[in-house]
A = this chain, B = another copy of it.
């Protein structure tokens, strides 16, 4: 880091943030042992990829310490990855770890130190404070009761993958009936049921509707009759490919309509193929097909000018389309650096292009996507490093901006736009 980058980075580090997309369980937001951290799919899937047997990593009945020990065996093959650099950063910042690497010789001390610190009753607050996190957006299944937690701190978001892609499954229909008290499969009934979900979520402070989408999906308006037929088929246990697609499209479109009604942004996370590696570890099975285009969302973006769509793309090769669509469509915003694109090489290029061509009020710089609170610190720090570099090189040096100007831009993409876009 140059001195300039360091100064910008240090200033960005002081910002208190709202994390606009995570998988935090608000009833157990922080880790209890290192197993909660190393159980994050990144570590199990990388350990498996590097050679560890799935049964060894996933074995039922072993305790958390044993589980950590087994993953640690693979770390020698993973030390180069950015994910393991997050692990080291957590170990150092939260647990005072001082070695160069986590190895079979030193992990037990780290494990025990972590257990002790995590046992403190204020561990959750400690992590939030140290990570400068004020609010954390959740990912809630549609039938999540949303009870028993502080929705000011943990902001609900309605995740809709099951509704859009699995309504033909009896269990999903049952969950919907149970969550809403509406049992019928007619178009009006299903629409009303979905409306009740929105009512409940919005009452509990939900700030977004969200969904992840496969590369082959393209939303379009579905006429009433087609929707009736697709619903009838699904509710009678049928599942033709074409009927399923029309059903998905109809539900999706209906969600967008409720987003208008409730003034909710609709987070689109575009590009994931599920279960590509069928024998992968838990959550380590999904991949993608880069052959996807935002042109598939043309109808949607045109039909819902009132809805803001924060769009995440799984592939770095989709970033230029995202930049261009956000440059043209008022209702398309760029959102974070998702999953396989969440590594510094791609974050840097994607951040550069976005800052050069998308209006500054439409860029959501980053979200952590974390499952446990401890991850916010290293992940946002990685992003802040890249952001400081881009601000330094492209704006302060490249365009002669003052550091004050550059930092204002940094603050806006890191915090200001989250507040404005999600009205939080």
Contact = CB atoms under 8 A, between A and B. Distances in A.
A64 to B, nearest CB: 23
A346 B321 CA distance: 13
A355 B82 CA distance: 9
A279 interface: yes
Interface string A304-327: 010000000001111011011111
Interface in A36-94: 45-46, 48-51, 77-83, 85
A254 interface: no
A120 interface: no
A330 B291 contact: no
B49 A360 contact: no
B355 A80 contact: yes
A14 to B, nearest CB: 21
A349 B360 contact: no
A353 B345 contact: yes
Contacts of A1: 397
B357 A82 contact: yes
A343 B83 CA distance: 28
Contact of A340 (B77, B323, B340, B399): B323
B316 A320 contact: yes
Interface residues of A, number: 76
Contacts of A324: 287-288, 340
Interface string A341-365: 1011110010011011111111000
Contacts of A260: none
Given A49-B358, A280-B328, 20 more contacts: A48-B330, A49-B326, A50-B361, A77-B360, A77-B362, A80-B355, A80-B360, A85-B399, A276-B298, A278-B302, A280-B329, A287-B328, A317-B317, A320-B340, A327-B340, A344-B352, A344-B398, A345-B349, A345-B353, A345-B356
Interface of A: 1, 45-46, 48-51, 77-83, 85, 100, 273, 276-280, 284-291, 293-295, 298, 301-302, 305, 315-318, 320-321, 323-330, 340-341, 343-346, 349, 352-353, 355-362, 394-395, 397-399, 402, 405, 409
B305 A279 contact: yes
Contacts of A100: 402, 405
A199 to B, nearest CB: 29
Nearest to A349: B345
10 contacts: A80-B409, A83-B357, A276-B328, A277-B298, A288-B321, A289-B321, A291-B293, A320-B341, A323-B340, A345-B353
Contact of A356 (B286, B289, B344, B357): B344
Q: Chain A at the B interface: mostly helix, strand, loop or mixed?
A: helix
Nearest to A48: B330
Nearest to A325: B287
A362 B144 CA distance: 41
Contacts of A349: 345, 349
A356 B82 contact: yes
A289 B295 contact: yes
Contacts of A323: 340
Contacts of A357: 81-83, 340, 343
A411 B100 CA distance: 19
Contacts of A344: 352, 356, 394, 398
A81 B399 CA distance: 11
A291 B288 contact: no
A359 B320 contact: no
A406 to B, nearest CB: 10
A405 B76 CA distance: 12
Contacts of A287: 294-295, 321, 324-325, 328
Contacts of A318: 290
Contacts of A317: 290, 317, 320
A414 to B, nearest CB: 14
